[in-house]
Amino acid sequence: MKHSRNYPVYTVTKKAEHSIALGHPWVYAEEITRLPDTPPENGALVDVYSGRGSYLGTGFLSLSSKIRIRLLSRNANDRFDEAFWRRRVEYAW
């Protein structure tokens, strides 16, 4: 079951949607088609959606980079708590 999410939503192009589906972890600034009404702070977690409203992933927002969003997860049920970060570090290790 998908958890309720309070992250700002960014909608992306079909090209970005395709890249994300193939595993690419970045969303470029020019691939964003819709921004949230209230811009989040630099470094905030944001959700990425397709033009049809399908969840694609969650990542960190970078307002000063051409790579606007760096995806952390494609799982809508992930919670970005201590357990999430522990799993990621252990997997990387």
Q: What is the pLDDT along the chain (93 residues), one digit of tens a residue?
A: 455 678 999 999 999 999 999 999 999 999 999 999 998 999 999 999 999 999 999 999 999 999 999 999 999 999 999 999 999 999 888
Angle at 55 between CA 51 and CA 57, to 5 degrees: 115
Whole-prediction pTM value? 0.90
pLDDT at 6: 87
Report the candidate in 57, 52, 63 with the shortest Cα–Cα distance to residue 22: 57
